A = this chain, B = another copy of it.
Amino acid sequence: MTPAAGTAPEGYDKRAFEPFAVTVDLAVFTIRGAVLQVLLIERGQEPYAGRWALPGGFVLPDESAETAARRELAEETGLSDVPGLHLEQLRTYSEPDRDPRMRVVSVAYTALLPDAPPDSVRMDPHLASLEPHGGGDAARAQWLPYDGLGPLAFDHDRILVDAHERVGAKLEYTCLATAFCPPEFTLGELQQVYETVWGTVLDRPNFRRKVLATPGFVEPIPGAARLTGGRGKPAALYRAGTAATLHPPLLRPSREGRPV
């Protein structure tokens, strides 16, 4: 962009303030085999060499943070042109000491994407890009279970906890759960999303009634059915609907003393 220095009125000289680096960090979630997984990269250099970290990188001079998030996701993990990728801003982390090297303000994003079943990776060349590979700055990129992660680099533990909490909360009052599902999915798979993110078990009859009673949450694909888990009755298939929010919301089973 290169702003014209001459046109900057007083008090707006670039050298009048300390320059900040602005970066993006990505908390990328998927659900694989009923387990919530996070996409992480192994750091190749100090600080925190060898530690797992969130993918991310610098915002370039002529792009927005969201554009940078999409670009970094593609560069560092090979996840590009993913159909159904959901990306949304989480919050910005700006503690002065969050990077020991210099002042870095980071805009964190949460991304959700459907799992690519192992079979379709071999079948469909497009879906093959869902298998992340190292690239760009990252030593290697890999899906790891959200539960039981060791300490991550920088303040990435906290970012990940914030992202998880936000996703869990948004499942209650938005149609976000479908972002974890492939284009065609069963109600059992949708329920699995809720159960995995919330860490609870839901009543199947009540769950399906609730989902089907919410206009625009899912729409049936007439005649289509798929066998899940190898056994049992084939399940009817649904597509994501056009609604964005759930009214009334689908609340988590109530805990007693509930944190925010």
Q: Which residues of A contact B (CB under 8 A)?
A: 1-9, 11-12, 14, 17-25, 41, 43-46, 53-66, 89, 91-92, 94-107, 136-138, 153-154, 173-174, 244-245, 247-249, 251, 254, 258-260
Closest 4 CB pairs of A and B: A19-B19, A18-B61, A3-B102, A1-B23
Nearest to A99 among chain B residues (CB) is B1
Residue among A2, A60, A154 with max Cβ neighbours from chain B (10 Å): A2
Instruction: Tell me which residues across on chain B come within 8 A of A59, comparing CB atoms.
Output: 20, 94, 105
Residues from chain B with a CB closer than 8 A to the CB of A98 are: 1
Partner of A96, one of B61, B94, B99: B61
Distance from A63 Cβ to chain B, minimum over Cβ atoms (Å) = 7
Q: Which residues in B have their C-beta under 8 angstroms from that of A7?
A: 57-58, 101
Q: Are B2 and A23 in contact (CB under 8 A)?
A: yes
Contact assessment for B9 and A45 in the assembled complex, using a CB-CB cutoff below 8 Å: yes
A45: chain B residues within 8 A (beta carbon): 5, 9
A30 → chain B, closest Cβ, in Å?
20
Contacts A9-B45, A18-B60, A22-B105 given; 17 further ones with Cβ under 8 A? A1-B97, A2-B54, A2-B55, A3-B23, A3-B104, A3-B137, A4-B136, A6-B136, A12-B101, A14-B102, A17-B21, A94-B107, A105-B105, A173-B173, A244-B260, A247-B254, A249-B251
CA distance A214 to B104 in the complex (A): 42
Given A20-B21, A260-B245, CB of A2 within 8 Å of CB of B43: yes
With A9-B45, A45-B9, A91-B91 as known contacts, state yes or no: A1 contacts B260, CB within 8 Å.
no
Q: How far is the CB of A155 from chain B (nearest CB, A)?
A: 9
CA distance A25 to B104 in the complex (A): 19
Q: Do residues B153 and A2 form an inter-chain contact, with CB atoms below 8 A? A: yes
Q: How far is the CB of A60 from chain B (nearest CB, A)?
A: 8
Given that A9-B45, A249-B249 are contacting pairs, would A95 and B23 also be in contact in the complex, using a CB cutoff of 8 Å?
no
Q: Please, which residues of chain B bring their CB within 8 A of the CB of A19?
A: 14, 19-20
B-side contacts of A62, CB under 8 Å: 96
- A4, B46: Cβ atoms closer than 8 Å: no
In the complex, which residues of chain B have a beta carbon less than 8 angstroms from the beta carbon of A248?
251
Of the candidates B2, B89, B107, B137, the one whose C-beta lies within 8 Å of that of A41 is B2
Residues of B within 8 A of A61 (CB): 17-18, 96, 103
